[in-house]
Chain A
Amino acid sequence: MKKRRQKLNLNRRNFLSGTATLAGLAATASVVPINISNANHKDGSKGLPDFISWKDRNALIVHSDKGIETHRSAIGESLITPNRNVYIRNNMPTMSDKQIGDRNNWKVSIQGVKNPKTFTLAQLKKMGHTTMATILQCSGNGRGFFEHKVRGSQWKTGAAACVLWTGVPLMKVVDACGGIDGSAVFMTSAGVDHEPTGLDPKKAMVERSVPKKVYKDAMLAWEMNGVPLPNAHGGPLRMVTPGYFGINNVKHLGKVAFTTKESSVKYMKSSYRISPIGKKGSQYPSCWEMPVKSWITRPTDETGTVKAGKVQIVGVAMGGTRKVRSVKVSVDGGKSWKRARFVGPDLGKYAWRQFVLETTLTSGTYNIASLASNGSDKQPELRMENRRGYAHNGWKDHSVNITVV
């Protein structure tokens, strides 16, 4: 055993020098039982990883200890997804309390502004305060519906959540630095969660560039649904880029820079690119704006058979970077559609809306689908085939089959 550990240390040095490297065997082949009653914990003994032991195991599908999905029927029926049900997708290990230290002393540097500065979290808290609801959604949410072999967690609908963030508007911070300097084209955010690993930042740092305009609605968040931002979700400070895929909402935020070029790290240059199957490269679009999307959350095949008679068909709908305007529901696989009704409060264009269609179903089998529109775009019927299974918003794959008795 001692000998083995020595070998591991050697290996670590090789890795840090860049000659040997790391592995990241995501749960490509993990089978994902959908029935909530056995919720992918067949023997009942496999719990959650320590860093998220506070989450609700019954609400979650565990693809791996780094990829954990919310059950379709556990997304939350009161608009906001409770923290205990929110999915986990971390590219780097979650930082520990020890690594973070005094949360109020957490530092973020602002660059590409007239007067570059570094602020502590305590200072940020004095600079402004706002709360905003946005949708956090992994770029690969829906990957599990693709038929070609796609590496990565096989998410269906549950790599998404609607979250209330509290923090400071980035505009306030930029203003305190004298405004953006020069002709920046991008807002580039970098996390520091790679630092404890000692890995090559070019390969491991999560640094994401988005169009500069995003900063106008962006915020630096320290609270999530009313509690200090959990480490597992990027605490103590996270970038929130409303309407943009999860990867751009950089966790454990250490730097925000206004830049003329996109970041050159791997997570920007080659990862998260939407390319045709069999092709890859930085010439393809990055996972930025989320498309319009919706899905049914009840009834589903997770909730068992449905009793004949009056049925409430419930779901969530998002407009991406625009307000979601309407949702239609079909109970016959898309042959006919009825307009659903939005329910609950409207928390702004970056939050999702819940919808309901009350209908009467007699015994039989039904394919239930939803189709959302944001006024200019609507969900396509089919997925956009792409190499890594990103940005799936086709309504057909997201439909559910139910049995009414």
Chain B
Amino acid sequence: MKISKFLLILFFIFSANIQKSFSDDDKMIKGLEIFNEIAGCAGCHILKAAGSEGNVGPNLDTVSLTEDSVKEMVTYGLGVMPAYGEENILTKEQIDIVSFYVANTAGK
């Protein structure tokens, strides 16, 4: 009984990890789509991972960013960069996803 409980717990832990991993992969795929096509980040930023060559904002390959700092920037904007959150250009979920994507590709 104890062994089966232990195996059950192991199964859940394993499943959770698998789920997280898939979730992150999904976010990377969706994040790329938002970056290149929905939000238009690619029009202004260089990011090797996205194949983008925009030269208005900072080259994202040259900076290290945390997910929170990207979220802040995407939500409230700066200078010519729109406030994607405040102006309802992107949904909160989209901002979360593209921020995850950028934080995991910028400066790499």
Contacts and interface: CB of A to CB of B under 8 A. Distances in A.
A20 interface: yes
Given A23-B44, A24-B77, A24-B81, A8 B52 contact: yes
Contacts of B41: 22-23, 25
B43 A93 contact: no
Interface string A182-219: 00000000000000010100011000000000000000
B60 interface: yes
A190 to B, nearest CB: 15
A151 interface: yes
B63 A24 contact: no
A200 B64 CA distance: 29
Nearest to A1: B51
B29 to A, nearest CB: 13
A395 interface: no
A27 B44 CA distance: 14
A24 B62 contact: no
Contacts of A279: none
A12 interface: yes
B58 A20 contact: no
Interface string B74-87: 10111111101000
Interface string A1-43: 1001101101110110000111111111111000000000000
A162 interface: no
Given A25-B57, A25-B81, A64 B73 contact: no
A92 interface: yes
How many B residues touch the partner, as a band?
A: 35 or more
Nearest to B66: A29
Contact of A26 (B57, B84, B102): B57
A64 B60 CA distance: 8
B81 to A, nearest CB: 3
B37 A11 contact: yes
A333 to B, nearest CB: 31
B51 to A, nearest CB: 5
Interface residues of A, number: 43
A30 B94 CA distance: 23
A27 B63 contact: yes
Nearest to B80: A204
Contacts of B53: 8
A232 to B, nearest CB: 13
Given A7-B37, A15-B40, A25 B65 contact: yes
A203 B80 contact: yes
Given A28-B72, A28-B73, A93-B56, A267 B79 contact: yes
Nearest to A62: B62
B64 A24 contact: no
A31 B64 contact: yes
B64 to A, nearest CB: 6
A24 B72 contact: no
A206 B87 CA distance: 21
A49 B50 CA distance: 20
A154 to B, nearest CB: 11
A65 B59 contact: yes
A25 B60 contact: yes
A151 B73 contact: yes
B63 A25 contact: yes
A11 B42 contact: yes
- 6 closest A-B pairs by beta carbon, nearest first, are A24-B81, A24-B57, A64-B58, A29-B69, A20-B40, A22-B44
Interface of A: 1, 4-5, 7-8, 10-12, 14-15, 20-31, 46, 49, 62-67, 91-93, 149, 151-152, 197, 199, 203-204, 266-267, 271
27 contacts: A8-B43, A21-B89, A22-B44, A22-B80, A23-B41, A24-B56, A24-B57, A24-B73, A24-B80, A24-B81, A25-B63, A26-B78, A28-B69, A28-B72, A29-B68, A49-B59, A49-B62, A64-B62, A64-B63, A91-B80, A92-B56, A93-B56, A151-B73, A204-B56, A266-B79, A266-B80, A271-B79
Interface of B: 36-45, 50-60, 62-66, 68-70, 72-74, 76-82, 84, 89, 102, 106
